[in-house]
Amino acid sequence: MKVLVPVKRVIDYNVKVRVKADGSGVDLANVKMSMNPFDEIAVEEAIRLKEAGKATEVVAVSIGVKQNQETLRTALAMGADRAILVVAADDVHTDIEPLAVAKILAAIVKEEEPGLVLAGKQAIDNDMNATGQMLSALLGWSQGTFASEVDIDGDNAKVTREVDGGLQTITVKMPTIITVDLRLNEPRYASLPNIMKAKRKPLDEKTPGDYGVDVTPRLTVVKTEEPAARAAGIKVGSVDELVAKLKEAGAV
Amino acid sequence: MHFGLSEEQEMIVSTVRSFVEKEIYPHEAEVERTGIVPHELGLRIKQKCIDLGFYACNFPEEVGGAGLSHMDFTLVERELGRGSMALTHFFGRPQNILMACEGEQREKYLLPAVRGDRMDALAMTEPDAGSDVRGMKCQAVRSGGDWVVNGSKHFISGAEHADFFIVFIATGVDETPKGPKKRITCFLVDRGHPGFEVRDGYNSVSHKGYKNCILTFDDCRLPDAQVLGQVDGGFEVMNEWLYATRLTVAAFCVGRARRCFDYAVEYAAERKQFGQAIAKFQGVSFQVADMITEIDAADWLTLAGAWRLDQGLPANREIASAKLHASEMLARVTDTTLQIFGGMGLMDDFPIERFWRDARVERIWDGTSEIQRHIISRELFRPLGA
Ligand SMILES: Cc1cc2nc3c(=O)[nH]c(=O)nc-3n(C[C@H](O)[C@H](O)[C@H](O)COP(=O)(O)OP(=O)(O)OC[C@H]3O[C@@H](n4cnc5c(N)ncnc54)[C@H](O)[C@@H]3O)c2cc1C
Ligand SMILES: Cc1cc2nc3c(=O)[nH]c(=O)nc-3n(C[C@H](O)[C@H](O)[C@H](O)COP(=O)(O)OP(=O)(O)OC[C@H]3O[C@@H](n4cnc5c(N)ncnc54)[C@H](O)[C@@H]3O)c2cc1C
């Protein structure tokens, strides 16, 4: 079974984001970019499936700017076998919307015929949480979202989902799309030998045109603003003081 | 001219950076408080590093290392410089000088060191011989085909965890027109060897948990098989392998300075006095500007030294300059950062006071700043006969 893993290049989670002066979005010029952390978890899961003998090949896909090549090299250094880069924009500030991404992925799935797509549940930049679901609709495949545990067994996959108030376990038919949550696994570091090998692994470069997809945005960003600053907290000296303060604030 | 990193180098940097952030940072405060690296923790860091193929990455592939170039390895050292030295010690980088091992020495010392089965320490300094290495008193005399060693070494880092020691010992004296000149030989000495003892050293304010020890030799008998390189050839092996280690000090300083600098910038932007961020005062912001300028300069000087080594170009003076400038830069950057933090900079609630203390040794070990200036100026004036 082949596993397809879409990976997005996003602003690094450690970077303090800054809104551009004109409010058109977040400033991405000269800031550290990394693989979306949820996608890293998806890559890790795919590699584990391969190590467990349940997958034969792991293909990473990234859609965005030319620099997404670095994100794909990271996936290759973690252990993916090959990569597909779809260059869909020149400007790092151009965000390709979930529907366009899902359409391109759907076309790639038809070409590559994977038995499983493992994606992050959302990208930490705009938190859309939509691509996996849209891909499922476009392909007519089953889906298991917010996975904290995945067990592939022949024609079925058992997916434990993190839902409000607890865990839900569902069984989906293969081929399927699984979007992964934070607790599924802890992604590995790229090993030094794999970093050195990554360059030699195949990386195909494509365009949306190759898949007949129009990536023109459907959404208009009206305004981006920083969240309001939070008021400073206070330190309390004892539990009694804490309880007193909470009572004062009407919280208990 | 090309100043960018390759994709591999970017990945090496980001992997080592996240390793340091996730595997080293969380344990720093405890090591600082107790002055001890728990045995289990050291082993765990070492094993992770071995699993990742980074252990002994400074060694060539044919002996089981990763065969990194000087440039790649300098980048690794730079990222490790961010973390506690007591802990990154277990991100093993055995002494390159072990490449001088021959015959059975390879099986006994070189290969186990590269695999991480045995750890090494290097001993040159003595109470009466620091900068003046050749003035050493620890000596070996011939006896029945073996060597009998008497004397001591001090300030020996990594000795606590070392399974064997690379020790420089005087093996004779030559009379020269300039006076007597000691002949030096490099020996490999196993921990536990009769007549050889490792004792606790002094407490240093720099790099808590990265202890230094005292080694004593009391009629310690060593066969010729323990000689690394040639008898009386100690300076040859030293010159061939050891000057590059100064580059690792420079790289350490750059990495550490960058970590410290991030604290300075963030604090200056957030700390408000007189109704505004202190970064708004030029008295503060210009210091920040000077800091980054110095850090970048030291970074390029260091990487240029590594590049020269990779090109096979003479690099002795350049590496001495990098070590000198980077270690003095780190002293200024940590001191300025502490100043920007005001009184809080001195408190151990932040790591700034630790960076400031740690920085102090960098101008002393692996050749003091004065000795680096001596090396640099000697190269400039020797051709002129001055
Ligand atoms: C924490 C720590 C760990 C160490 N680890 C090791 C180790 O693992 N292995 C090892 O072998 N050594 C180690 N050292 C020793 C270190 O390399 C020496 O401390 C260093 O070489 C300086 O020697 P010294 O301390 O004896 O100072 P000295 O040589 O006595 O110098 C005293 C002062 O005189 C100056 N000076 C000396 N000669 C000259 C000159 N010709 N011109 C101008 N000024 C001069 C020096 O710059 C210095 O300011 C360590 C030291 C420390 C502090
Ligand atoms: C060990 C210790 C004991 C102390 N004991 C006492 C005590 O007994 N009683 C007491 O009242 N206080 C005491 N202090 C407080 C001490 O006086 C303050 O630490 C000092 O005044 C600096 O204030 P701060 O630490 O808040 O730094 P900040 O005022 O926050 O300064 C941070 C940085 O900003 C710079 N800065 C601030 N304003 C400007 C400006 N306008 N232009 C340019 N640069 C600026 C400062 O020079 C500094 O580099 C003590 C401090 C220490 C560390």
A12 CB neighbour count, 10 Å cutoff: 15
Q: Could you tell me which CATH number the domain at B120-235 has?
A: 2.40.110.10
pLDDT at B386: 86
Band (B180; pLDDT cuts 50, 70, 90): very high
Minimum-distance ligand 2 atom for the alpha carbon of B284: 44
> For A141-157, b where at least 16 C-beta lie within 10 A, e where not — what string?
bbbbbbbbbbebeeeeb
Q: How far is it between the farthest Cα atoms of chain B? A: 80
Residue of B11, B57, B66 with shortest CB distance to A190:
B11
pLDDT at A251: 83
pLDDT at B309: 95
What mean pLDDT comes out for the span A155-169? 95
Domain residues for the domain of A229 are: 2-249
Indicate the fold that domain B243-384 takes in CATH.
Answer: Butyryl-CoA Dehydrogenase, subunit A; domain 3 (1.20.140)
Put residue B260 in one of left, alpha, beta given phi > 0 → left and psi -120 to 50 → alpha. Answer: alpha
What mean pLDDT comes out for the span B65-69? 95
pLDDT at B197: 98
Residue of A nearest to B50 (CA): A191
Match 């030096």 to its residue by tokens.
Answer: B184
Q: Where are the domains of chain B?
A: 7-115, 120-235, 243-384
A205 CB neighbour count, 10 Å cutoff: 12
Residue of B nearest to A67 (CA): B7
Inter-chain CB proximity B66 and A73 less than 8 Å: no
Band (A107; pLDDT cuts 50, 70, 90): very high
Query: Could you tell me the two tokens for B233?
Result: 């050839």
- pLDDT tens column, B108-117: 999 999 999 9
Band (A234; pLDDT cuts 50, 70, 90): confident
Distance between CA atoms of B327 and B321, rounded to whole angstroms? 10
pLDDT at B1: 80
Q: Pick the closest to residue B90 from B53, B37, B166 (CA basis).
A: B37
Tell me the CATH number at A152: 3.40.50.620
- pLDDT tens column, B10-32: 999 999 999 999 999 999 999 99
Asked if pLDDT for residue B241 goes beyond 90, the answer is: no
- pLDDT tens column, B202-224: 999 999 999 999 999 999 999 99
Number of domains making up chain A? 1
| Mutation target among A44, A78, A189, A200 for the B interface, most CBs of B within 10 A | A189
Beta strands (DSSP E) in B67-202 are 120-123, 139-143, 146-157, 164-176, 179-190, 196-200
B77 CB neighbour count, 10 Å cutoff: 26
Q: Is the peptide bond between A175 and the residue preceding it cis, with omega within 30 degrees of 0?
A: yes
Min Cα separation A64/chain B (Å): 18
Q: Is B123 in the pocket of ligand 1 (CB under 6 A)?
A: yes
pLDDT at B89: 98
Q: Pick the closest to residue B298 from B328, B263, B339 (CA basis).
A: B328
Query: Could you tell me the two tokens for A40?
Result: 């890293």
pTM reported for the whole predicted model: 0.92
Asked if pLDDT for residue B186 goes beyond 90, the answer is: yes
Q: Is the CB of B247 inside 8 Å of chain A's CB atoms? A: no
Min Cα separation A192/chain B (Å): 5
pLDDT at A228: 86
Inter-chain CB proximity B8 and A192 less than 8 Å: no
| Domain B7-115 grouped into CATH 2.160.10.10 | no
pLDDT at A47: 98
Distance between CA atoms of B16 and A49, rounded to whole angstroms? 26
Separation of CA B139 from chain center? 25
- pLDDT tens column, B347-379: 999 999 999 999 999 999 999 999 999 999 999
N- to C-terminal Cα separation, chain B: 34
* Mean of the per-residue pLDDT values of chain B: 97
Prediction ipTM score:
0.86
Tell me if residue B3 falls in helix, strand or coil: coil
What mean pLDDT comes out for the span B94-106? 97
pLDDT at B144: 93
Put residue A238 in one of left, alpha, beta given phi > 0 → left and psi -120 to 50 → alpha. Answer: beta
Q: Pick the closest to residue A135 from A40, A63, A66, A207 (CA basis).
A: A63
Inter-chain CB proximity A189 and B66 less than 8 Å: no
- pLDDT tens column, A24-53: 899 998 899 999 999 999 999 999 999 999
Q: Is B129 in the pocket of ligand 1 (CB under 6 A)?
A: no
